[in-house]
Amino acid sequence: MERSDSRRPPGVLLYLVCGLLAAILIVYARTKAFAWDEGFHLITAQLIKAGKLPYIDWVFSQPPLNAYWNALWMKIFGESWRVVHTVAALCTAGALFLIARFTLARFPVPRWRLPLAILTAILVGTNIVVVQFGTVGQAYGLALLAITAAFAVSVRSPERKLWTIPFAAGVLAGVGASATLLTAPVGPVLLIWMLVYDRTNRRWSKLGAFVAGEAIPFIPVAWLMVLGPRQTWFGIVQYNLIYRLVEWPGATRHDLEVLAGWIDFPQGIILGLLALAGLLFVHFRSGWDRQSRGEFYLCACLAIALTIHISSAHPTFARYYLFTTPFLSYLAAAGLYWIGTQLRSQSEEMPRPWLPVILVSLLVSLSLAKAIYDNRDDYDWSDLEAIAAQVEKVTPPDKTLLANEQVYFLLHSTPPPGHELHDSHKLEFSPERAALLHVVPQSVLDKQIQAGKFDTIASCEDQEWNDARHLGDLYGMEADAGECAVYWGWKGAAPK
């Protein structure tokens, strides 16, 4: 094992690197960050800000915390996607800073702490999936920050008697899970680890404190369950377990393609191989003390539990796995340390830590730059702003609009009842259940279109969908706006 250096490494360079990564995330968030699925998160936050309740007043298919989080920042800074994106980017930057700061403080070899702390920050902050989705209005940024903070707090519990530490860890794990159920395994894994590694003989008090803390972020869910148990249960549980698969015949094939997609993801290969090397080194070769090894084992358990849980989502998506990046990055630091010590020349008493760190950092950074360049023409909010501008030009305020969630959000327009979640139109329920859950089935929507209920339709569906509903015949005016089309000027019934 390498000699330790008792001097604490300076962190100024780490803070500069983290600041640069945060700036990159914010710039990307305010310019190119975009996800189609974030639209209903933003319209939900907008409706919450207006005093309405998710599930009770409209269908919402996620836990509510992130929507309330976004509504808070909209209330302070205004209803803009840039506000929400900036906050998400700052949360993601906070997560990469926490795992980097943890590496600086806890990596067992002091001489390698600063280089490897910078490496962990770069592995998280340049990960293309983290950059693309940790900067949008969905729950990725908030939950990533919460679970990374929960980890950083939890590792302080074994040697301390204070109940406030597991309580805080529980609160943070609960924040992650109540923002997105994708992070649900984090709480149980942290709790089990804290109990196994506890050295204070206060396991029961810590267990109670952690469970109590994790329950606190779910108080809004409990309140909404009291107000509307069937609607809330459907939105959080039933929709995700049962109804996500509706009208998705190729979901299983899609999942298999996602699981095999890492082959085409150089950053994922580098991160995964370094993390595996780190775990093997820690377990078989490191000789480090039980507490230090336990922190690496915790990262491995978190990454494995999250991977299994995320892979069981049906359908799943590659972006869901971004929650594993902080924990894999700390394992990867150990892997690169091992490789670095094996590559030293015989004339070197101690290996030079900076060279392998710089090489890996450069490789993943170039991979990010290439991905951003390749995706430079992808759809983003500027395209939707052009659509919203066209809709606003042809639709007076007193007229009825059918559009996707992003257009409603940009126009600060309240969707017609049952149109807050575009994806819910695929659900064909009885009239009674549809009314209870605030769902407008596609069959009912088609009848509304044919009856001329909407003065303007902004459709981002494919042309086949538009033609099947004869939108070009029903409306006298049509304008193309990128991948979407705007129809207005109602003419009458479509030809038989």
Per residue in 283-323, pLDDT (tens digit) is 999 899 999 999 999 999 999 999 999 998 888 888 999 99
Asked whether the predicted pLDDT for residue 343 surpasses 80, the reply is no
Asked whether the predicted pLDDT for residue 344 surpasses 70, the reply is no
| pLDDT value for 249 | 75
Q: Where are the alpha helices (DSSP H) in 242-375?
A: 251-260, 266-284, 290-312, 325-342, 354-374
| pLDDT value for 207 | 95
Joined tokens for residue 358: 């710089």
Q: Rounded to two decimals, what is the model's pTM?
A: 0.93
The pLDDT tens digits of the residues spanning 141-191 come to: 999 999 999 999 999 998 888 899 999 999 999 999 999 999 999 999 999
The amino acid at 158:
P
| pLDDT value for 337 | 94
- State in Å, rounded, how far the first CA of the chain is from the last one: 82
Q: What percent of the chain has pLDDT over 90?
A: 76
Mean pLDDT, range 215-244, rounded to an integer = 94
Residue 463 pLDDT class (50, 70, 90 cuts): confident
Is the Cβ–Cβ distance between 404 and 379 less than 8 Å? no
Residues 6+ apart with CB under 8 A from 41: 62, 66, 67, 70, 137, 138, 139
Range with the lowest mean pLDDT among 6-15, 210-219, 233-242?
Answer: 6-15
Mean pLDDT, range 365-393, rounded to an integer = 91
Average model confidence (pLDDT) across the chain: 91
Angstrom CA distances, 418 to 223, 353, 439, 447, stand at: 22, 58, 5, 14
Report the C-alpha gap between 219 and 229 in whole angstroms.
Answer: 14
- Which residue bears the tokens 């298919």? 61
| pLDDT value for 216 | 97
Asked whether the predicted pLDDT for residue 1 surpasses 60, the reply is no
| pLDDT value for 313 | 84
Asked whether the predicted pLDDT for residue 349 surpasses 60, the reply is no
Residue 255 vs residue 200, higher pLDDT: 200
| pLDDT value for 394 | 92
Q: What percent of the chain has pLDDT over 70?
A: 96
| pLDDT value for 2 | 46
Report the C-alpha gap between 210 and 352 in whole angstroms.
Answer: 41
**Nearest CA to 407 among 380, 389, 425?**
389
Helix 325-342, helix 266-284: angle, nearest 10: 70
The b/e string for 382-420 (b: 16+ C-beta within 10 A; e otherwise) is: ebbeebbebbbebbeeeeebbbbbbbbbbbebbbeebbb
Mean pLDDT, range 198-213, rounded to an integer = 93
Residue 251 pLDDT class (50, 70, 90 cuts): confident
Residue 3 pLDDT class (50, 70, 90 cuts): very low
HEC per residue, 101-154: HHHHHHCCCHHHHHHHHHHHHHHHHCCHHHHHHCCCCCCHHHHHHHHHHHHHHH
Mean pLDDT, range 468-476, rounded to an integer = 91
